[in-house]
Structure 1
Amino acid sequence: MPDTRLWPLSLAAATTVTALGAGIAPLRRALHAREGGLRPSAFPGGPEDIWVGQVPEVEAVELPPELAGFACRNNRLAEMALRSDGFAEAVSVAAARHGPDRVAVVLGTSTAGIEETEQAYRQRDAAGALPASFNYAGSHDLQSLPAYVRARLGLRGPAFAISTACTSGARSMLEAAALIASGVADAVVAGGVDSLCRLTLHGFTALELLSRGGPTRPCAADRDGISIGEAAGLVLLMRPEDGPPGAPLLLGAGASSDGHHMSSPHPEGLGAVSAMRAALAAAGLTPGEVDYVNLHGTGTRANDAMEDRAVHHLFGDGTPCSSTKGWTGHALGASGAVEAVIAMLCLEDGLVPGCLGVSMPDPEFRSAVATANAVRLLRRVASNSFGFGGSNCCLVIGRAA
């Protein structure tokens, strides 16, 4: 009989790549030093007067020759993550233990390899045909990401993509839990990868959602928008008894879809509250048992105000909360996964990272927004992700009791 428990799950291994560098170490250093990774955009063909979280040297990353058909910016980010923090080696150990057909891959992304198609489009011939070397399935297609990671790791379990806008990286972990609980897999590589592309940068410009002339400042009274980032965040999930002793746990997760508007959140955060409540229920916790909330906190007027109302409704004004997108930018489909790794770091280091570049939060906010780093004992962290179309997700990460 399969073990049908959804929760908890062991976060047996984790890695991340952000504008701060490859691996968890530069992210940890930057959080403590309060040094962000956002810079004025020099992305070719992108809008002017914006800041982005661009990963250094991603263009130079070479994929294994036998997997060259997967070459694109997004899969290069994934490759950087696989090479960091001993992640590929940890998956290899899991595959040796359970069998490569028992290790699944579930990864979130919003744009996948669209940047590769953008390059191909500029190389059309006189008749308008794309170059013969362009491989849509290997690069642009959403399935390219999980297919590449599965092939790169030598796995044979199920592999599929999740694309639920900015909740994709977090939502992948709910799907991973279902695969393990149903007996389909014994371990799952989950998370998200999203890369910079002109479509995203110009699209958010057209929506008038980008911060202009400086980095995003979530929760500030004068916040004016998002800074787009690119990133990869990967975790290896398995049953607690199969994971390393003392590894952090994914205690529970919750999701909802309020379908309020194509690009604007429900003003009262009803879907956000529903997702957070579901996550707490899955973890068997009350709001008072959460020690810190990592906000979705994009830096737009509407999103931050909605989330403040939702968090205050559930947690009141006694639980510290903050957004870490001032460090990484908003990595869209990867953001939930990257911030799950940040939640793990906060637990390990007892760190509440105050919103970067914000001297005081919006005076209209009622939740306990932190603007300076604080050290305190953390046992459980809730991490929020909200996306276009009313997609909402919350993860609760903590220590073993």
Structure 2
Amino acid sequence: MSGRASPWPLAISARTVVTALGAGVEPLRAALRDRISGLAPARFPSAPDGIWTGEVPGLEEAAPPPGLAGFDCRNNRLAELALRADGFAEAVRAAVARHGAHRVAVVVGTSTAGIEETEQAYRRRPEGQAELPADFDYRRTHDLQALPQYLQARLGLSGPALVISTACTSGARAIMEAATLIAAGVADAVVAGGVDSLCRLTLQGFNALELLSRGPTRPCAGDRDGITIGEAAGLLLLERPADAPPGATLLLGAGASSDGHHMSSPHPEGLGAVSAMRAALDSAGIAPEEIGYVNLHGTGTRANDAMEDRAVHHLFGAAVPCSSTKGWTGHTLGASGAIEAVIGALCVEEGLVPGCLRVDQPDPEFRSAIATANRATPLQRVLSNSFGFGGSNCSLVIGRA
């Protein structure tokens, strides 16, 4: 960032997650340690036959407060469940007391936002009626901006509120853009992350592309057969280290690229992925050998995993253990970068490399150091990758100074 102050490092003052494993960081931490997956045969209405999903339990009890009832939709309920967990809303209130509500921004990513609410509205139309029902509130449910507006209203914030929608990099790019706001002096703290919910469009769309696994996803396996779609919310409160609790895990750097290779297929040699990873390392001021673990984007498709293996090997050789954690949560699309940023922080704090679930041996053609079993090892820094349709790439460095 020539000509501007570097935004790095930033402290993760608080974090919260909601995944198929449950609400809160602790269920995720325990599942990683005990190798328990949240994936199950699909129960979601209109899901393709024979697939698995990572569906979040407890959304029936996660309605917004009465004053914000107009925002009620599956996506905002995921966000609400996250706000109730891990003391996150209380941590944001403390940040407001430190900085003022106008100095706390919201930058969140999503891909389909609240389209599931529109799908329901479409099905509720009386026979022969073209218009959607009069009680359908597009602006506060389906619209991309509905998510940051809900978080801003729910938390009583008045700083900037932005949404990022760059497919499966959305959650990671939101974190990166949050750092830019702090570096530019626009905000002193940012609620950043991603939320994405199951919907018919996503499930049937990936099914039409023939990318869905017929069982739980198995990234990096030689016989992997595709993605398992999940839903999730992951939120981080980012501040300058001086404003954060002592010992907070740090966001040390980030890098992004756009290779524009193909609408839905990654560049086969991972050129954009290499560029994003190298930019993240450069922004953190570290060399590849200072990374202790790489959290792969690792979706479980043939093309994505093979591309990422080439890209990671190009930078790290076979010296750094790497794995995908989507066997635990499924691919949560626009939320995945934020969820896996929290996983990266947990790996540093726990000294844990989580080996790929349900994979006895990695693809024999892979050359990077794929971990298939958990290993305990001190970790100072983790690199987390997110790659998306349209050639969008983003990498985050998380760890200790």
Give the shorter-chain TM-score range. Answer: over 0.9
CA distance in 1, matches of 2:299, 2:194: 17
User: How far 1:293 sits from its partner (Å)?
Assistant: 0.2
In the TM superposition, what whole-angstrom CA distance separates every residue of 1:215-245 from its partner, at most 9, and x where no partner exists? 0000000000000000000000011111111
Kept after mapping to 2: 8 A contact 1:146/1:160: yes
Kept after mapping to 2: 8 A contact 1:17/1:23: yes
CA RMSD of aligned residues (A): 1.0
Equivalent residue number for residue 29 of structure 1: 30
Equivalent residue number for residue 81 of structure 1: 82
Equivalent residue number for residue 172 of structure 1: 174
Equivalent residue number for residue 52 of structure 1: 53
Equivalent residue number for residue 109 of structure 1: 110
CA distance in 2, matches of 1:178, 1:373: 35
Equivalent residue number for residue 243 of structure 1: 244
1:389-400 matched pairs, under 5 angstroms:
389-400=390-401
Structure 1: gaps of 5 or more residues: none
User: How far 1:139 sits from its partner (Å)?
Assistant: 0.2
CA distance in 2, matches of 1:57, 1:83: 12
1:111-260 matched pairs, under 5 angstroms:
111-125=112-126, 126-212=128-214, 214-260=215-261
Kept after mapping to 2: 8 A contact 1:4/1:183: no
Paired amino acid for 1:290: I
CA distance in 2, matches of 1:285, 1:278: 10
3-state DSSP of counterpart to 1:193: strand
User: How far 1:124 sits from its partner (Å)?
Assistant: 1.1
User: How far 1:128 sits from its partner (Å)?
Assistant: 1.9
CA distance in 1, matches of 2:349, 2:135: 46
Structure 2: gaps of 5 or more residues: none
Equivalent residue number for residue 62 of structure 1: 63
User: How far 1:57 sits from its partner (Å)?
Assistant: 1.9
Kept after mapping to 2: 8 A contact 1:74/1:145: yes
In the TM superposition, what whole-angstrom CA distance separates every residue of 1:36-72 from its partner, at most 9, and x where no partner exists? 0000001011111000000012133121001001000
Give the TM-score, by structure 1 length. 0.98
CA distance in 2, matches of 1:78, 1:112: 11
Q: Does 1:356 align with 2:357?
A: yes
User: How far 1:181 sits from its partner (Å)?
Assistant: 0.6
In the TM superposition, what whole-angstrom CA distance separates every residue of 1:247-296 from its partner, at most 9, and x where no partner exists? 00000000000000000000000000000000000000000000000000
CA distance in 2, matches of 1:140, 1:338: 22
3-state DSSP of counterpart to 1:224: coil
Equivalent residue number for residue 96 of structure 1: 97
3-state DSSP of counterpart to 1:6: coil
Structure 1 runs, 4 residues or longer, greater than 6 Å off: none
Paired amino acid for 1:386: F
CA distance in 2, matches of 1:367, 1:234: 30
3-state DSSP of counterpart to 1:115: helix
Kept after mapping to 2: 8 A contact 1:167/1:387: yes
Paired amino acid for 2:326: K
CA distance in 2, matches of 1:75, 1:99: 25
CA distance in 1, matches of 2:283, 2:330: 29
CA distance in 1, matches of 2:38, 2:6: 39
Equivalent residue number for residue 292 of structure 1: 293
CA distance in 2, matches of 1:287, 1:244: 28
CA distance in 1, matches of 2:69, 2:322: 43
Paired amino acid for 2:114: G
3-state DSSP of counterpart to 1:191: strand
CA distance in 1, matches of 2:305, 2:208: 20
CA distance in 1, matches of 2:131, 2:291: 55
Equivalent residue number for residue 335 of structure 1: 336
3-state DSSP of counterpart to 2:141: coil
3-state DSSP of counterpart to 1:11: strand
Equivalent residue number for residue 320 of structure 2: 319
CA distance in 1, matches of 2:140, 2:354: 38
Paired amino acid for 1:110: S
User: How far 1:5 sits from its partner (Å)?
Assistant: 2.7
3-state DSSP of counterpart to 2:163: strand
How many residues are matched?
398
